Structure 1
Amino acid sequence: MTEVDEDIPEGAARASIVTGSRTTLQIAESVLRMVAKPVPEEMIGSETLRRLVEEMWMCMLDAGGVGIAAPQVGISWRLFIGSAMNILPSTVFINPEVEYFGEASVLGEEGCLSVPGWRSAKVLRHPKVIVRYRDLTGAARVATYEGLAARIVQHEFDHLNGKLFIDLDETPDVDHPLRRRALRAMQEMDTRLKEAEDA
Structure 2
Amino acid sequence: MAQTDEAFRGAGRASVVTGSRITLQIPDSILRMVAKPVPEAMFGSETLTRLVEEMWMCMIEAGGVGIAAPQVGISWRLFIGSANGILPSTVFVNPEVEFFGSPTVLGEEGCLSIPGWRSNKVPRYPKVTVRYRDMTGETRLETHEGLAARIIQHEFDHLNGRLFLDLDETPDADNALRRRVERAMTEMEERLNAED
Question: Displacement, 1:170?
Answer: 0.4
**Alpha-carbon contact 1:26-1:113 (below 8 Å) kept:** yes
**Alpha-carbon contact 1:13-1:22 (below 8 Å) kept:** no
CA separation of 1:18 and 1:116: change in aligned 2, threshold 3 A: closer
Aligned pairs (5 A) from 1:146-161: 146-161=145-160
CA RMSD of superposed structures (Å): 1.5
Deviations 1:108-138 (A, max 9, x none): 0000000000100000000000000001111
Is residue 2:22 matched to residue 1:23?
yes
Q: Distance in 1 between matches of 2:92 and 2:135?
A: 8
Q: Distance in 2 between matches of 1:159 and 1:194?
A: 19
Partner of 2:175 in structure 1? 176
Task: Give the TM-score normalised by structure 2.
Answer: 0.91
Question: Displacement, 1:13?
Answer: 9.8
Deviations 1:160-187 (A, max 9, x none): 0000000000000331221221121111
The 4+ residue runs of structure 1 with deviation greater than 4 A are: none
Partner of 1:99 in structure 2? 98
Task: Give the TM-score normalised by structure 1.
Answer: 0.90
CA separation of 1:14 and 1:29: change in aligned 2, threshold 3 A: farther
Partner of 1:7 in structure 2? none
**Alpha-carbon contact 1:19-1:74 (below 8 Å) kept:** yes
Q: Distance in 2 between matches of 1:127 and 1:16?
A: 35
What letter matches 1:191 in structure 2? Answer: E
Q: Distance in 2 between matches of 1:18 and 1:50?
A: 13
What letter matches 1:46 in structure 2? Answer: S
What residue ranges of structure 1 are gaps of 5+ in the alignment?
1-11
Partner of 1:187 in structure 2? 186
Percent of aligned positions with the same letter in both sequences? 76
Q: Distance in 1 between matches of 2:186 and 2:167?
A: 15
- Which is further off, 182-191 or 122-131? 182-191
Paired residues in the alignment total: 186
**Alpha-carbon contact 1:69-1:159 (below 8 Å) kept:** yes
Question: Displacement, 1:18?
Answer: 4.5
Partner of 1:130 in structure 2? 129
Question: Displacement, 1:141?
Answer: 0.2
Aligned pairs (5 A) from 1:156-167: 156-167=155-166
